[in-house]
Chain A
């Protein structure tokens, strides 16, 4: 235990905080707080990427850390905040899901993710391979959030949090993806959010609400 270097400990700590934030997002009922938590998760992700970059002298990781900071910790939360303000859904409180049950499912997912990732991370030789399980758990928790939420904005936040988890997985398993791929994904996410923002307005104009359940009824009529 004592032979684990400090940088690896820091990376583990960052990964644990990301997992903690994923759970906080799962439990969070208010939209604004949810977006703030998402921004915080991006910030911690950036920190952990910087630590990996400093320890392994991988220069392209600095770029992806900067990209993470700019996009996920600043730009996307800002866009989402603006959307929430424009759509007047600031006080939107989620009501359908039973939060404790969701959290219990979350813990089960974490156990599954840890078990699945264990043999895979043994194949990797990176300094941060232990966090692969956490990355997988973050992806699954974000997925769970997308499934259990009924409002549109939390679902989009879930989608973005899933991207955070994928990014963490890429960093921990192989020291990040090639720059082109990373840029492509970043652009995809950005454009995705902008398009979804337009969708939000369309959904609200149509149904006077951002509740996705209204869209199911559309089929029957």
Chain B
């Protein structure tokens, strides 16, 4: 049954996700500013932003349907669920049986569909442009993500995230070449999914290049706050998924509070390094043309398939 420590771990994971996600975004922005020789915004800027937006009134377009108003809550809920399923601190999560990795990809897909529909709902040209571009990126990124997950699932013989991470974290030291391929593919996918630089620029409002920003142009007030928070949560979820799959050391397995206490600082360190790496990638790369994005994601898909093949060739023989 559900253990007390499992419940505590689950609660901790959710609270940490809610609290840390804007901090991670702020950290990435700060690193990016440092690397680009700009004076950095304060680390807590995303929190100020959320605070400001939550206090402001919502301005709705005349022809906004109920879908437009419901979408931010759905998106926020999806991202929160994803953060609850992905093992960040402990693999003993009562929520984990609710969805395996395939359903997790589905949860991200649901959020994507809602944000695209909401973008098209108002009927402005920017909204539908952004929505269509988002779907273009999404339908190419999803199979690549699935292939990455299949590779890890083949190693651990399970599609449950908690089981995968448990198998990967608590094994004898073995080099899996397939995980190297999967890791690169996963990096590509997370850059595209989180609207990061080679595919989209999170800081721009330059009309011709934006994807994510084009979709949320019509949002304001608490709706915008929820969407911004959800975007932070998505980045956090992807970072944690990547860390859990490819650098799983230190995640508590059993039902021990002590392991949990040890896992928190380690997670913070790993997230800080991961955030810096993301800022570095964003700084050294230029944004590519939108029509190069399919090529970028196609490469991610092929790498993930290669990971699967290498797994079959090198690692399954007796």
CB distance from A95 to the nearest CB of B (A): 14
CB distance from B148 to the nearest CB of A (A): 15
Is the CB of A167 closer than 8 A to any CB of chain B?
no
In the bound complex, how far is the Cα of B146 from the Cα of A196, in angstroms? 45
B-side interface size class: 20 to 34
Whether A103 pairs with B313 at a CB distance below 8 angstroms is: no
Which of A2, A16, A19, A106 lies in contact with B174, CB distance below 8 A? A2
- Within 8 Å CB of B180, what residues of A? 13, 16-17, 20
Is the CB of A114 closer than 8 A to any CB of chain B?
yes
Q: A-side interface residues toward B, CB under 8 Å?
A: 1-2, 4, 6, 9-10, 12-13, 15-17, 19-20, 23, 27, 99-100, 103-104, 106-107, 110-111, 114, 118, 130-131, 133-134
Q: B-side interface residues toward A, CB under 8 Å?
A: 172, 174-175, 177-178, 180-181, 184, 294-295, 298-299, 302-303, 305-306, 309-310, 312-317
Which of A6, A20, A133 lies in contact with B181, CB distance below 8 A? A20
Which of B172, B177, B294 lies in contact with A100, CB distance below 8 A? B294
- Within 8 Å CB of A27, what residues of B? 299
With contacts A6-B175, A19-B310 known, what are 5 further pairs, Cβ within 8 A?
Answer: A15-B314, A23-B303, A107-B305, A110-B309, A134-B313
In the bound complex, how far is the Cα of B312 from the Cα of A118, in angstroms? 11
Most buried by A among B178, B295, B299, B310: B310
Whether B309 pairs with A106 at a CB distance below 8 angstroms is: no
CB distance from A40 to the nearest CB of B (A): 15
Whether B302 pairs with A103 at a CB distance below 8 angstroms is: yes
A-B contact pairs, 17 of them (CB 8 A): A1-B316, A9-B174, A12-B175, A12-B314, A15-B314, A16-B180, A16-B310, A20-B181, A23-B303, A99-B295, A100-B294, A100-B295, A107-B306, A107-B309, A131-B314, A134-B313, A134-B314
CB distance from A169 to the nearest CB of B (A): 14
Residue of B nearest to A110 (CB): B309
Whether A16 pairs with B309 at a CB distance below 8 angstroms is: no
Whether B177 pairs with A12 at a CB distance below 8 angstroms is: yes
- Within 8 Å CB of B310, what residues of A? 16, 19, 134
User: In terms of DSSP, what is the predominant structure of the interface of chain A?
Assistant: helix
Say yes or no: A15-B177 contact (C-beta < 8 A), given A107-B302, A131-B314.
yes
User: In terms of DSSP, what is the predominant structure of the interface of chain B?
Assistant: helix
In the bound complex, how far is the Cα of B184 from the Cα of A27, in angstroms? 15
Say yes or no: A133-B174 contact (C-beta < 8 A), given A100-B295, A103-B302.
no
Whether B177 pairs with A13 at a CB distance below 8 angstroms is: yes
In the bound complex, how far is the Cα of B309 from the Cα of A38, in angstroms? 23
Residue of A nearest to B310 (CB): A16
CB distance from A75 to the nearest CB of B (A): 29
In the bound complex, how far is the Cα of B185 from the Cα of A23, in angstroms? 13
CB distance from B137 to the nearest CB of A (A): 15
In the bound complex, how far is the Cα of B124 from the Cα of A109, in angstroms? 46
- Within 8 Å CB of B294, what residues of A? 100
In the bound complex, how far is the Cα of B306 from the Cα of A104, in angstroms? 11
Whether B312 pairs with A23 at a CB distance below 8 angstroms is: no
Whether B175 pairs with A9 at a CB distance below 8 angstroms is: yes
In the bound complex, how far is the Cα of B181 from the Cα of A97, in angstroms? 24
Whether B175 pairs with A114 at a CB distance below 8 angstroms is: no
